[in-house]
Amino acid sequence: MGGKIFDVIIVGAGIVGAACADECARHGLSVAVVDRDVIGGGATAAGMGHIVVMDDSEAQFALTRYSQKLWHSLRAEFPDDVEYEQCGTIWVAVDDEEMTEVRRKHDFYGERGVATKVLDSRELRALEPNLRTGLTGGLLVPEDVVVYPPCAARFLTERALKRGAQLFTTRSVIGIAQGQVALSDGSQIMSPRIVNAAGAWAADLTPGLEIKKRKGHLVITDRYPGFLAHQLVELGYLKRAHSVTSDSVAFNVQPRRTGQILIGSSRQYGAEHKEVDHVILGRMLRRAHEYMPALVAMSAVRTWTGFRAATPDKLPFIGPWRGDNTVFVATGHEGLGITTSLGTARLLADAITGKTTEIPIEPYLPSRSTKEFAHV
C-alpha cells in the first residue's frame, strides 16, 4: 500500500524539526513535517528559549557558535511574536574559584572570536541590582539572545510551507523504517530520507538511539518590567548539570519581553511523568532565592515541566542512522535545542544532500562511540 512520496520526511515539528524542514525546503527538496500535536509543542514549548554559546567542549562550542550566528543573521526577518531579544547572558560567580572559571571562559571565548566581559562585583551589581550582595562577579556574554520558541518554530515551519513543504499535525507516527512513515490514522508517507527529530521520544521510533528523557521545571511570574535585564546563570550550573545520574537544580533566570521573569532550572533522570515534582520545584526556587532574594515576593502565575532529550556525551545526534539507511537523526540536544537548531538543520541538510558541512559533523554523528550514560 503506497503513500505519498517526499524527498524528506521530518518527524517532529519542534524547533529542531522545524529548522530542518526550513533548511531542506530551502535546498529545493519536497518536505513533509509530521507531529502528533501542535508545532513546537514538546520541549520547544517548555524550555527557556535561550540562544547561548557554551564552552563545555570544542564540539559544543562549535555548534552553538555556528548556530548563534545563524540566529543573528535571521533576526531582521522574525515577526514580533518570536520576541527576539539580545539581552545577553551573565554567568554569575559566588567565590574566587568561580571567578577563576570566569576568566578561563573569557579567555576561551576571546580566542575563538566571541566578545565577553569580565565583571567584578561592583560592575555586576550595577548591571543587575537585584542580585544579592556578596557575589564576586561574573562573565557578560553580550551576544546571547532570548526568543519565544513556539513562535520561532512556527516561523520556520511557515517558511518551509511557503516553499511547498506539507505539514501533518495531530498525527502520531507509529513507526519509521525502510523509507516508510506509518501514521496513527492508518496512512503512510514515504521517503528515502526520514529525519527523526522527535526529541525526548526519539528512541521510541528508532530503537537503539541513546536518548534519555531529562525532566525540567520552570516557573513564570507576573510582569515586573525593569527587574531583570540579562539572562542570569550560575557558574555552578555546569558543575550541577554535569551529573548524568542524579537530580539537580541550578539558578537560571530570564527576562521575557513581557517583563515576566522565567525561573529555572532543574534536571532529573528517570522521571517519566509530566506532573510537577514539588520537592525538586521547591529546591529549584530556593536556589533561585539565594541569588535573587526579591523573587520571593513576586507573583508566580504558572509552573510547568518538559522533557529534554539527553545523550550520553552531551552532544546531539546529527546525521545518518546506522540501523537503516533511510533514517537520519537530529535529536538529543538536551538544554541547547533552541540554540543549536539552526546549525543542526544546516548540518543535516548537508548530510542529506551530500554537501560539505561548514563545521565538522563528525562529533555529532550517531555512529560515533559514546560512553554508557555514566558520570562524566
Which residues are at the interface with another protein (CB under 8 A)?
Answer: 37-41, 45, 81, 150-151, 154, 170, 219-224, 258, 263, 276, 278-279, 281-282, 284-286, 288-289, 295-304
Query: Least distance in Å: CB of 229 to another protein?
Result: 18
Q: Which is nearer to another protein, 100 or 184 (CB)?
A: 184
Q: Which ranges in 27-120 belong to alpha helices (H)?
A: 43-46, 58-74, 96-111
What interhelical angle do 337-353 and 58-74 show, nearest 10? 90
All three cell numbers of 263, joined, read 525561573
Query: Least distance in Å: CB of 290 to another protein?
Result: 11
Q: Measured between alpha carbons, how far is 115 from 86 in angstroms, rounded to an integer? A: 14
Query: Least distance in Å: CB of 41 to another protein?
Result: 6
The side-by-side arrangement of strands in the sheet containing 260-269 is 117-120, 137-141, 89-93, 231-234, 248-255, 260-269, 212-223
Query: Least distance in Å: CB of 338 to another protein?
Result: 14
Q: Which is nearer to another protein, 114 or 147 (CB)?
A: 147
Q: Which residues pair with 166 in a beta bridge?
A: 32
Query: Least distance in Å: CB of 203 to another protein?
Result: 24
Q: Which is nearer to another protein, 81 or 97 (CB)?
A: 81
Contacts of 132 (CB under 8 A, 6+ apart): 290, 291, 292, 293
Query: Least distance in Å: CB of 252 to another protein?
Result: 14
Query: Least distance in Å: CB of 265 to another protein?
Result: 14
Q: Which is nearer to another protein, 100 or 170 (CB)?
A: 170
All three cell numbers of 38, joined, read 501542535
The side-by-side arrangement of strands in the sheet containing 180-183 is 4-5, 188-190, 180-183, 173-177
Q: Which is nearer to another protein, 226 or 354 (CB)?
A: 226
Between the two ends of the chain, the Cα-to-Cα distance in Å is 47
Q: Which is nearer to another protein, 295 or 336 (CB)?
A: 295
Q: Which is nearer to another protein, 177 or 183 (CB)?
A: 183
* Three-state SS letters, 126-152: HHCCCCCCCCCEEEEECCCEECCHHHH
